[in-house]
A and B are shown apart, each in its own frame.
Chain A
Amino acid sequence: MSQTISSRRGFLKAAALAGALAAVGGCASLGGSKAKVVVIGGGYGGATLARYLTLWGGGKIDVSLVERNPSFISCPMSNLVIAGYRKIEDITVSYDGLKARGVRVIQGEVTGIDATARKVKLADGSELPYDRLVVSPGIEFMWNDVGGMATAAAQEAIPHAWKAGTQTLLLQKQLMAMKDGGVFAISIPRAPYRCPPGPYERACLVADYLKKNKPKSKVLILDANEDVVSKKGLFTKAWQGTYGGMIEYRNNNELKEVDVASRTAILEFDKVKADVLNVVPPQRAADIARTAGLINVNNRWCDIDWLTMESKAVPNVHVLGDATFPAPTMPKSGHMANQQAKLAAAALIDLFDGKAPNANPMLMNTCYSYVSEKQGIHVSSVHHYDAAKKTMLPVTGSGGVSVAASVIEGDFAAAWARNIWADSLS
Chain B
Amino acid sequence: MKQNTMRLAWRGVLLATAGLLAAAPAFAQTSVARSLAATCANCHGTDGHAKDGMKTLAGKPADEIIKLVSEFRTGQRPATIMHQISKGYTEDQIKMVAEYFAQQPAK
What residues of chain A have their CB less than 8 Å away from a CB belonging to chain B? Answer: 7, 10-15, 17-19, 21-22, 27-28, 30, 32-36, 52, 55-56, 60, 129, 131, 335, 338-339, 342-343, 346, 349-350, 352-355, 358, 360-364, 366, 378, 380-384, 395, 397-400, 402, 406, 408-409, 411-412, 414-416, 418-420, 422-423, 426
Contacts and interface: CB of A to CB of B under 8 A. Distances in A.
Interface string B81-104: 100110111000100000000000
B85 A398 contact: yes
A418 B51 contact: yes
5 pairs of A and B residues whose beta carbons are closest in the complex: A14-B12, A382-B88, A415-B53, A18-B16, A398-B88
B35 interface: yes
Contact of A422 (B34, B39, B51, B89): B51
Contacts of B4: 10
Contacts of B7: 33, 35-36, 131
6 contacts: A10-B12, A19-B16, A22-B17, A33-B10, A366-B42, A415-B51
A400 B84 contact: yes
A219 B42 CA distance: 33
A381 B88 CA distance: 8
Contact of B39 (A363, A409, A418, A426): A363
Given A18-B17, A406-B80, A411-B53, A419 B12 contact: no
B107 to A, nearest CB: 13
Contacts of A381: 88
A416 B42 contact: yes
Contacts of B89: 362, 382, 395
Given A17-B13, A21-B13, A339 B39 contact: yes
Contact of A419 (B38, B41, B88): B41
| Chain B interface size range | 35 or more
B76 interface: no
Interface in B70-84: 80-81, 84
B14 A352 contact: yes
Interface in B1-21: 3-18, 20
B54 interface: yes
Given A131-B7, A398-B85, A411-B53, 12 more contacts: A11-B11, A21-B13, A32-B6, A33-B10, A353-B15, A355-B28, A362-B35, A364-B39, A380-B84, A412-B80, A416-B43, A418-B53
Contacts of B80: 378, 402, 406, 408-409, 412
Highest count of chain A CB atoms <10 Å: which of B35, B52, B85 = B35
Contacts of B11: 11, 14, 352-354
A19 B11 CA distance: 13
Given A364-B39, A366-B43, A419-B50, A10 B9 contact: yes
B43 A378 contact: no
Tell me the interface secondary structure of chain B in the complex: helix
Contacts of A423: 41-42, 45-46
Contacts, number: 175
Given A358-B31, A382-B88, A419-B44, A15 B18 contact: no
Interface of B: 3-18, 20, 28, 31-32, 34-36, 38-39, 41-46, 50-54, 80-81, 84-85, 87-89, 93
Contact of A343 (B5, B35, B43): B35
Contacts of A364: 39, 85, 88
A360 B13 CA distance: 26
Contacts of A21: 13
A416 B85 CA distance: 15
A11 B12 contact: yes
A55 B20 CA distance: 24
A18 B13 contact: yes
Contacts of A378: 80-81
A350 B15 CA distance: 10
A30 B81 contact: no
A355 B25 CA distance: 13
Contacts of A382: 85, 87-89
Given A28-B17, A354-B15, A412-B54, A362 B36 contact: yes
